[in-house]
Chains A and B, each alone.
Chain A
Amino acid sequence: MSTPNSRANPAFYAVIALLVFMSVGPVILMFMNSFKLDVDIISGTSGLIFLPTIQNYEKALCDVLWYEPDHIDFCSLKFGNAFINSLIIALVSTALTLVIGCMAAYALVRFRFMGRDTVSLSTLMVRMVPPAVLLVPVFGLWNNEFCLDRDGLIGGAIRDTFGGRGDVCLAGTHSGIILIYVAMNLPFVIWILQSFIVQVPRSLEEAARVDGAGPFQVFFKVVLPLIKPGLAAAAIFTFRIAWNEYLLASALSDRDTRTVPILIVNNMSEFNVEWGVIMATGMLLAIPPIIFTLLASRQIITGMTAGAVKG
């Protein structure tokens, strides 16, 4: 079956073509629909012949467009704002997770210290915690416990300087969402990076240490450059989760800090019929991950295999 001489079998290529069609088809369908008018989508002139229009995208992005399209009377979707929120949250949390996770993974691999096994085990255990389980406690903590009291020192200072009520909570801020995303992604990043750091030859580090480099220098100048593929893989996975996550963001954000997935879900229930605009917003949300996939599929696959096979 796996002999190389059965290579030119047409049935084999038919299977592959079918698989590609099945996995990419829905994405292409959404892409095409996002350029159709609602009339075309509903009337069912299905097929490739239609007049492409960017009206849906104009409607979705109406709050950041520099011109005013004729067909929009009122800009109800604040997509641009949500997109910027998503971008800030995803980028900052990815960067933080990588730096922190990398250091932790390095310590776990290279040093023997007290509590190492505990940390390693609990890191693995929290990997299984679903976001839905965190919903209740995070909602409670971020809204009540993790607040600066209005009469407290810092809260008072903020009230005096910036005005407002003075009691600042983590909920409703970018940092609140970023904090939970970093915590959620850390176990996975540590796990993946461990398998890459193990492969860095110890002799290199020792050579650097002999030349007089401190532990942090060794880490940043020797180890980090050598595990770039692992970092890329970890970065993509972290970004993907932070960019796509809906549930916790919806519990923690307010009108100004909501992210794109929340916006899409809200629109889904409100204007059930505007398929074109919904598809356009979906496409805009899907574009960054698609770009990553096309650019770095090799790293993604390496990361996936490293994450799963190394138990």
Chain B
Amino acid sequence: MRTAMANRLTPYMFMAPAVIIMAIALMYPLGYMVWGSFRDWNPSQTIGEAEFVGLKNYIFLWNDPNFHESLGVTLRFAFFVVTIEMIIGVGLALLLDREIRGISILRTMFILPMMIAPVVVGLMWRYMYHPTVGTFNRFLDSIGLPRVDWLGDYALTSVIIADIWQWTPFIFILSLAALQSLPRSALEAARIDGATAWQQIIHIKLPLMMPVLIVTALLRLIDAFKVLEVILVMTEGGPGLSTEILALRISRTATEFRELGVAAAMSNYLLILLLLLTVGMFAFNRWQEARAARLNALVEEES
């Protein structure tokens, strides 16, 4: 009797530490933030002292041109980053999917940029983009072309390039893994039927990789909304608001403008956006599992 009782309690004992920590340090803060977003709250007050203002913060943001600008920058950044990284990453994976000696060393080198601190990545690129001592402008000088004001006139592009440098390998490695786990039989059959390399890629490889590719793209998209340090170090959001993504604006609203209520409301907008993306990913996963089951059944019938 007692062992049965103990057995029923076991899973809860295993779960308890994780649940408690996540409740205290994730769930409670998130609820606290929603609560705080309805208040006119500055950092020197506790939340109880702050005045309740209803939806004022949300309405203020809804009509705030700076917030619109920042949201636009964030969406543009996320869109370009994910699109370009997907194209380059998948392209490289298709190109390099063959027997290479020392592939493990290559992969090690490719994941290096991902492991380095975002702060350091920002630092490296800030140096390389520097108008006078930077690598890129030195190079342009040496081949006789005019200098480019990378972090001034082309700030968003430059920031996007840095992110592409850091995260394309992620997509490359995942799609390479997906490619190499494709069923060999389908490819063999296509080759015997005389399909050209292009036909193989478009009609067989890409469709078969699609589920992994979409999950990868969504993961990257969610991560693209988290980028902050790289941009903070490279441009500090400037010039103007041209690279001030939402994450950065939240942190500036909270620390520089000292309006915690507005920052909390902004965080909520960002959360809602991400929630939609995550739900989309879930829905896609469900749909894909159903489809995979159907495909498997089909393949088994054929073979």
Say yes or no: A140 contacts B117, CB within 8 Å: no
Known: A103-B15, A286-B116, A311-B281. A23 touches B169 (CB 8 A): yes
* Residue among A29, A100, A138, A275 with max Cβ neighbours from chain B (10 Å): A100
Q: Which residues of A contact B112 (CB under 8 A)?
A: 23-24, 27, 290, 293
Most buried by B among A279, A297, A311: A311
Residues of A259-279 whose CB lies within 8 A of B: 261, 264-265, 268-269, 275, 278-279
B200 touches A1 (CB 8 A): yes
- B202 CB → nearest A CB, Å: 12
- Residues of B in contact (CB 8 Å), total 103
B18 touches A190 (CB 8 A): yes
* Contact bitstring B18-53, A, C-beta under 8 A = 1, else 0: 110110111111101100100001010011000000
Decide: A309 and B110 in contact? CB cutoff 8 A. no
Whether a CB of chain B sits under 8 angstroms from the CB of A54 is no
With A1-B200, A33-B127, A44-B138 already in contact, the answer to whether A132 and B267 are too (CB < 8 A) is yes
Q: Which A residues are CB-close (under 8 A) to B274? A: 128-130
Q: Is B116 a contact of A289 with CB atoms below 8 Å?
A: yes
Q: How far is the CB of B142 from chain A (nearest CB, A)?
A: 9
Assess the A215–B10 pair: CB atoms within 8 A: yes
Q: Which of A139-167 contact B (CB under 8 A)?
A: 139-141, 144-145
| Pairwise interchain contact A311-B96, C-beta atoms closer than 8 A | no
Q: Given contacts A129-B274, A182-B21, are A293 and B33 in contact (CB under 8 A)?
A: no
Residue contact B11 to A107, C-beta cutoff 8 Å? yes
Given contacts A30-B124, A282-B120, whether A136 and B21 have CB atoms under 8 Å apart is: no
In the complex, what distance in Å separates the CA atom of A7 from the CA atom of B36? 61
Is A136 a contact partner of B115 (Cβ separation < 8 A)?
no
A192 at the interface (CB under 8 A from B): no
- CB distance B10 to A293 under 8 Å? no
Number of interface residues of A (CB under 8 A): 99
Q: Interface stretch among B79-87, B148-156, B219-227, B295-303?
A: B219-227
B95 at the interface (CB under 8 A from A): yes
Interfacial residues of chain A within 116-138, with CB under 8 A of chain B in the complex: 116, 119, 122-138
Verify B133–A282 contact, CB threshold 8 A.
no
- Which one of B33, B119, B132, B281 lies within 8 Å of A133 (CB-CB)? B33
Contact assessment for A246 and B113 in the assembled complex, using a CB-CB cutoff below 8 Å: no
CB 8 Å contact bits of B94-117 with A (1 = contact, 0 = none): 111111100010111111110111
Cβ–Cβ contact A140 & B11, under 8 A: no
Residue of A whose beta carbon sits closest to that of B222:
A128
In the complex, whether A66 has a CB less than 8 A from a CB of chain B is no
Q: Is A228 located at the chain interface by the 8 A CB criterion?
A: no
A283–B174 Cα distance when bound, in Å, is 28
Which residues from chain B contact A300 at a C-beta distance below 8 Å?
111, 115
> Is the C-beta of A234 less than 8 angstroms from some C-beta in chain B?
no
B210 within 8 A of A: no
A124, B41: Cα distance in complex, Å:
31
A285 contacts B222, C-beta separation under 8 Å: no
Could you tell me if B92 and A19 are in contact, using CB atoms closer than 8 angstroms? yes
B95 and A140: CB pair below 8 A?
no
For residue B220, which residue of chain A has the nearest CB? A308
Bound-state CA distance A110–B11 (Å) is 8
Are the C-beta atoms of A133 and B267 separated by less than 8 Å? yes
Bitwise interface map of B from 284 to 303 toward A, beta carbon under 8 Å scored 1, else 0: 01001000000000000000
Contact B173 A301, beta carbon cutoff 8 Å: yes
In contact, A136 and B109 (Cβ under 8 angstroms): no
A77 to chain B: closest CB distance in Å?
Answer: 15
Q: Which residues from 112 to 139 on chain B have a C-beta closer than 8 Å to any C-beta of chain A?
A: 112-113, 115-120, 123-128, 132-133, 135, 138
29 inter-chain pairs at a CB distance below 8 angstroms, sorted by A residue, are: A1-B94, A23-B113, A26-B124, A42-B132, A44-B133, A44-B138, A100-B18, A103-B17, A132-B248, A137-B29, A140-B36, A141-B28, A145-B46, A183-B24, A184-B26, A186-B18, A186-B22, A187-B22, A244-B229, A261-B119, A264-B123, A268-B126, A282-B120, A285-B117, A293-B112, A297-B111, A301-B107, A305-B177, A308-B212
The 9 A-B residue pairs with the shortest CB-CB distance, nearest first, are A183-B25, A1-B197, A132-B247, A104-B18, A107-B14, A137-B29, A111-B11, A244-B117, A297-B108
In the complex, besides A26-B124, A27-B113, A130-B270, 11 extra interface pairs with C-beta distance below 8 angstroms are: A2-B97, A26-B113, A111-B10, A131-B228, A135-B263, A137-B33, A144-B46, A247-B228, A269-B236, A293-B112, A297-B108
